């Protein structure tokens, strides 16, 4: 009992201790909760106080900006505070106000873009983010923003036109920042990675042989990646050796010699630039001396694209330094006046008195208002007339490597306002500003000494051109020696000639299907059926059967046939009267079916057509929407399957039509639409073409001729070292100089009233000069030549010397007697005549067998023109394959006539093969009704007809014999017919 009571006491003692411990823990917990409550109250009070302080600071900053909207630091502080407080709407408004006045830094743009992307995650709002990206990439050189832009666009790749949009953004990115030595490589790699992902989607599964269409898509995608590697290897970038090794491993074949030449040249350039780039990396901000050393080096090298990008890299890091803005805008102005890069460097050094820019000041206030009291107001400062931003619009070099919308203090009104409060340093006595009156005087004197005092028409083309700031030298005659220009370095993007597998057998049909591929035909059939359904639902009653691949290829065969055989009227092709009783096309397709297909033929989606028509009289309206699907497919195919040889030329072609549309042009004896075509001069292959739509094509601000040339010359796809030959509409000193900087030579006839053409009378060609007399002037790379043939011929060239001794035979009258004499001829005229002669060959190839159909709709006229281009290019490829395979002389290539005949025969065979197999004939004779109920159709009874009863109709026929026969209670021709057979 004692033991048990002792155990009970021990247990009670333990319970008491446990209760005491629980009470102590509860007391501690209460104390902690009380303390936590007090702390939370204090934190709430503190946060409330912080919010009040921040709100007061925000109101103070907003009030300050209402007084002086150009306080840069005030804008930055306000955005930081609003971001901290989470005031998204006010934050967006503050950013928009700042962006209207200043170019934003990369960090501010990236934060803004990321916030907007999070807020606009729904698909319909993607366009708003695209618009914001478009604003962001135009402020400074920002590779990271371009990468974000491209990555964001990839998210919309599944939308209509999404893939084309991604490629377009990547192309703009590599043109804008692809030359950035340290960050440009990331953009190139992202572009290649995107194309590699697309490649993986078009590759067939292992073990399956791809179809012809799949193989074509695969080849196109592989060529895209090859081209990206080649383009990148031609640019001096950090770690480009690793890119070359990657290309060798990826291509699994020997790198082409042209690529090696470009790669070695880029390596040499990299070796020169690398020390300057490393100095920039190691230097502490603001790096002004390092940037100026780099700028001076690029000015000596003379590449406008590289000069621009290093200037803008410096401005991106030192956007508040007026001296750098002044240097850059001075450079742009001097380049506009036609000064060489070396001359610009000399003038800039003379203006500043030294070769480097002043070191950045210690405070931002000193940067914003140099030479002024920081406390003083800028309201009393007035901009002088020479500083007006509205009087000067900098001319941007027309280079595919230079981003077209670069911003400078004068390229946008918001910068103009900012410059008013930031006066530039006063120019010294040797500055370019002080020389302006003298230059104006010289210009007036030159104009006064021109041949005619009458005002001349302004030459077509450029609104600005390299000006004449010094007196021009006199004209030289043919006996004076000219300096021969350096030969062009021919570096095409691909090996010239056909770019597909030339070892395979290529029939005329397989060559034609490179342009009218299965996907193109499918799109045409789908849109034509949709258009026919739309017309039928609109009340147009006509017989229509769903268009099939078989019917469409027969339709194309008839179109080709109309080019081979011409008759007075289209209906004569189906005539049964001599001499038009052709077996084809009546045995393959009825006239009613052909007319129905032709009437319903449509290249674009009818529903999208209606949507586009609703945008009429707005900027979004596309005049060429009805032809865009086929137009873009044919242009892409022309570029993809052939690489031009070195000499190329631009031609004009008219698409005849009298339809009423604003894009129509008039030429003598022909109304129609103008195509600008880029031809290979050695083969007459049409490599690229554009439809001229008038002023809407003025994308460069340099005139229609300038814009047309630049649009026809996609330099990344074409390459360098080409010689371009043009007529006077496309010739101007500005376009020739800009293409020369891209290693493209030019030669063309030129109007003497063209801006930039020498107007000096000294030793000019006489009005009554003898045949063969010539004069020339050289201005830098530009050679101007006047030569007397029947009339005066004026030429401009960047690839020729004036005269090397070449001659030509011409008829010359002496003492009233016509004689054939040998007269001198400039080299530019000889080469121009030889290479522009391909236009006549090309036009003849098309005109001799062109499609002979009356076109009532303008877009159908383009369909036939696209057919002609595809047929001609297919024929050119056939001849090139024949040359490459070295066939014996006994084997001749097709003539164009035999090529089209063979193509038509193969098309018919292909059409029959693509048709559904006919159902097997029934095994037994059985009467059936025509139609479903025997009342829809009746035909003449064969038995009655044979018996001399000519006009007895019946709805019954034999399903096996396919013969209409009477079957009634009074007459059973069905039984009598079969009794005779069996």
- Would the pTM count as exceeding 0.85? no
> Please, are residues 854 and 570 in contact by the beta-carbon 8 Å criterion?
yes
> Please, are residues 212 and 202 in contact by the beta-carbon 8 Å criterion?
no
User: What is the rounded CA–CA span in Å between residue 734 and residue 754?
Assistant: 11
Question: Which pLDDT score, from 0 to 100, does residue 436 have?
Answer: 37
Question: Which pLDDT score, from 0 to 100, does residue 115 have?
Answer: 86
Per residue, what are the HEC states of 840-860?
Answer: HHHHHHHHHCCCCCCCCCHHH
User: What is the rounded CA–CA span in Å between residue 661 and residue 663?
Assistant: 6
Two structure tokens written together for 79: 């955005």
How far apart are the two ends of the chain, measured CA to CA in Å? 130
Residues of the chain with pLDDT under 50: 1-8, 12, 123, 353-470, 665-669
CATH architecture of 103-255: Alpha Horseshoe (1.25)
Question: Which pLDDT score, from 0 to 100, does residue 472 have?
Answer: 56
User: What is the rounded CA–CA span in Å between residue 719 and residue 233?
Assistant: 13
Q: Long-range contacts: 604-613, Cβ < 8 Å, 24+?
A: 604/527, 604/628, 604/629, 605/527, 605/530, 606/527, 606/530, 606/531, 606/534, 607/530
Q: List, in sequence order, every beta strand (DSSP E) within 131-239.
A: none
Cβ burial, residue 757 (10 Å; 0-12/13-18/19+): buried
Question: Which pLDDT score, from 0 to 100, does residue 393 have?
Answer: 34
> Please, are residues 537 and 530 in contact by the beta-carbon 8 Å criterion?
no
Question: Which pLDDT score, from 0 to 100, does residue 855 have?
Answer: 62
> Please, are residues 716 and 494 in contact by the beta-carbon 8 Å criterion?
no
Quick one: how far is CA 345 from the chain centroid?
Answer: 33
State the helix-helix crossing angle for 838-848 and 858-885, rounded to 10 degrees.
120
Boundaries of CATH 1.25.40.10 in the chain?
A: 103-255
User: Strand 745-749 to strand 723-726: parallel, antiparallel, or no bridges (unpaired)?
Assistant: parallel
User: What is the rounded CA–CA span in Å between residue 716 and residue 170?
Assistant: 13
Question: Which pLDDT score, from 0 to 100, does residue 325 have?
Answer: 86
User: What is the rounded CA–CA span in Å between residue 573 and residue 595?
Assistant: 12
| Number of C-beta neighbours around residue 85 at 10 A | 15
State the helix-helix crossing angle for 858-885 and 549-564, rounded to 10 degrees.
80
Question: Which pLDDT score, from 0 to 100, does residue 48 have?
Answer: 67
Question: Which pLDDT score, from 0 to 100, does residue 880 have?
Answer: 92
Dihedral Cα 717, 722, 725, 729, nearest 10 deg: 50
Two structure tokens written together for 585: 């096309």
User: What is the rounded CA–CA span in Å between residue 44 and residue 37?
Assistant: 10
The strand pairing partners of 674, in sequence order, are 654
The strand pairing partners of 748, in sequence order, are 726, 796
User: What is the rounded CA–CA span in Å between residue 935 and residue 320?
Assistant: 90
Question: Which pLDDT score, from 0 to 100, does residue 41 have?
Answer: 54
Cβ burial, residue 39 (10 Å; 0-12/13-18/19+): exposed
User: Strand 670-680 to strand 664-667: parallel, antiparallel, or no bridges (unpaired)?
Assistant: antiparallel
Q: List, in sequence order, every beta strand (DSSP E) within 563-669.
A: 642-643, 647-656, 664-667
* Total residues belonging to the chain: 982
Half-sphere exposure of 44 (CA within 13 A, CB side): 6
Cis peptide before 420 (omega within 30 of 0): no
């Amino acid at each position: 009992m004692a033991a048990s009571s002792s155990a009970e006491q021990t247990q009670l003692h333990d319970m008491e201790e446990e209760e005491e411990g629980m009470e102590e823990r509860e007391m501690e917990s209460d104390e902690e909760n009380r303390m936590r409550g007090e702390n939370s109250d204090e934190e709430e009070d503190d946060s409330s106080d912080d919010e009040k302080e921040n709100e007061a600071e925000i109101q103070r900053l907003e009030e300050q900006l209402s007084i002086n909207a150009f306080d840069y630091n005030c804008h930055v502080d306000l955005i930081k505070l609003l971001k901290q407080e989470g005031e998204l709407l006010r934050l967006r408004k503050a950013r928009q106000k700042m962006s209207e006045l200043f170019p934003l830094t990369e960090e501010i743009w990236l934060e803004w873009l990321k916030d907007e992307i999070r807020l606009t995650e729904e698909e319909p709002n993607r366009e708003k983010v695209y618009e914001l990206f478009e604003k962001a990439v135009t402020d400074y050189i920002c590779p990271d923003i371009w990468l974000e832009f491209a990555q964001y666009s990839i998210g919309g790749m599944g939308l209509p036109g999404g893939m084309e949009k991604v490629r377009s953004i990547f192309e703009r990115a590599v043109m804008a920042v692809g030359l950035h030595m340290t960050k440009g490589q990331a953009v190139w790699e992202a572009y290649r990675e995107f194309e590699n992902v697309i490649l993986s989607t078009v590759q067939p599964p292992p073990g399956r042989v791809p179809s012809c269409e799949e193989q074509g898509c695969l080849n196109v995608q592989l060529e895209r990646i090859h081209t990206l590697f080649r383009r990148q290897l031609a640019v001096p970038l950090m770690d480009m050796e690793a890119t070359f090794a990657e290309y060798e491993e990826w291509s699994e074949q020997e790198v082409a010699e042209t690529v090696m030449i470009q790669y070695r040249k880029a390596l040499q350039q990299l070796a020169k630039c690398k020390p300057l780039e490393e100095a920039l990396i190691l230097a502490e901000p603001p790096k002004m001396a390092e940037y100026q050393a780099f700028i001076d080096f690029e000015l000596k090298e003379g590449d406008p694209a590289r000069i621009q990008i290093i200037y803008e890299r410096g401005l991106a890091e030192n956007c508040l330094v007026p001296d750098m803005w002044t240097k850059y805008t001075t450079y742009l102005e001097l380049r506009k006046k036609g000064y060489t890069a070396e001359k610009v460097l000399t003038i800039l050094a003379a203006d500043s008195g030294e070769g480097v820019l002043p070191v950045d000041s210690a405070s931002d206030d000193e940067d914003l208002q140099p030479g002024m009291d920081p406390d003083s107001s800028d309201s009393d400062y007035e901009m002088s007339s020479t500083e007006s931003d509205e009087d000067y619009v900098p001319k941007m070099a027309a280079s595919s490597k230079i981003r077209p919308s670069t911003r400078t203090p004068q390229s946008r009104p918001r910068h103009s306002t900012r410059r008013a409060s930031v006066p530039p340093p006063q120019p010294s006595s040797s500055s370019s500003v002080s020389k302006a009156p003298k230059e104006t005087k010289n210009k007036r004197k030159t104009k006064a000494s021109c041949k005619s005092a009458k005002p001349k028409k302004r030459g077509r083309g450029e609104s600005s051109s390299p000006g004449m700031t010094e007196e021009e030298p006199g004209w030289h005659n043919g006996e004076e020696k000219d300096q021969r220009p350096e030969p062009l370095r021919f570096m095409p993007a691909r090996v010239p000639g056909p770019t597909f597998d030339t070892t395979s057998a290529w029939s005329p049909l397989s060559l034609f299907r490179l342009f009218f591929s299965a996907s193109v035909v499918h799109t045409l059939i789908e849109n034509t059926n949709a258009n026919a359904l739309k017309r039928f639902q609109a009340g147009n009653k006509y017989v229509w059967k769903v268009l099939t691949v078989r019917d469409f290829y027969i339709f194309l065969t008839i179109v080709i046939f109309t080019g081979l055989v011409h008759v007075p009227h289209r209906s004569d092709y189906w005539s049964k009267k001599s001499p038009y009783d052709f077996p084809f096309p009546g045995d393959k397709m009825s006239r009613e079916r052909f007319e129905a297909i032709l009437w319903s033929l449509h290249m674009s989606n009818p529903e999208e057509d209606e949507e586009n028509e609703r945008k009429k009289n707005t900027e979004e309206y596309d005049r060429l929407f009805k032809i865009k699907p086929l137009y873009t497919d044919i242009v892409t195919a022309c570029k993809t399957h052939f690489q031009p040889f070195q000499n190329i030329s631009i031609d004009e072609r008219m698409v005849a039509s009298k339809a009423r549309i604003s894009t129509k042009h008039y030429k003598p004896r022909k109304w129609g639409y103008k195509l600008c075509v880029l031809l290979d001069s050695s083969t007459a292959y049409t490599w690229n073409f554009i439809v001229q739509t008038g002023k809407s094509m003025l994308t460069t601000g340099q005139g229609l001729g300038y814009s047309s040339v630049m649009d026809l010359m996609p330099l990344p796809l074409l390459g360098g070292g080409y010689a371009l030959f043009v007529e006077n509409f496309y010739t101007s000193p500005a376009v020739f100089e800009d293409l020369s900087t891209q290693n493209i030579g030019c030669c063309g006839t030129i109007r003497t009233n063209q801006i930039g053409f020498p107007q000096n009378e000294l030793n000019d060609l006489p009005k009554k000069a003898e045949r063969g007399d010539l004069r020339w002037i050289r201005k830098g790379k530009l050679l101007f030549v006047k030569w007397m043939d029947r009339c005066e011929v004026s030429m401009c060239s960047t690839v020729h010397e004036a005269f090397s001794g070449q001659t030509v035979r011409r008829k010359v009258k002496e003492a009233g007697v016509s004689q054939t004499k040998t007269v001198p001829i400039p080299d530019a005229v000889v080469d121009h005549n030889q290479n522009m002669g391909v236009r006549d060959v090309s036009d003849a190839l098309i005109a001799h067998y062109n499609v002979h159909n009356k076109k009532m709709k303008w877009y159908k006229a383009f369909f036939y023109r696209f057919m002609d281009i595809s047929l001609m290019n297919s024929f050119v490829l056939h001849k090139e394959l024949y040359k490459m395979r070295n066939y014996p002389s006994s084997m001749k290539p097709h003539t164009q006539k035999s090529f089209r005949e063979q193509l038509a025969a193969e098309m018919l065979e292909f059409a029959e093969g693509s048709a559904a197999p006919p159902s097997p004939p029934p095994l037994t004779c059985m009467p059936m009704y025509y139609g479903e109920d025997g009342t829809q159709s009746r035909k003449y009874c064969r038995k009655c007809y044979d018996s001399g009863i000519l006009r007895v109709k019946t709805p019954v026929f034999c399903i096996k014999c396919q013969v209409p026969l009477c079957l009634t209670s009074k007459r059973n021709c069905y039984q009598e017919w079969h009794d005779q057979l069996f």
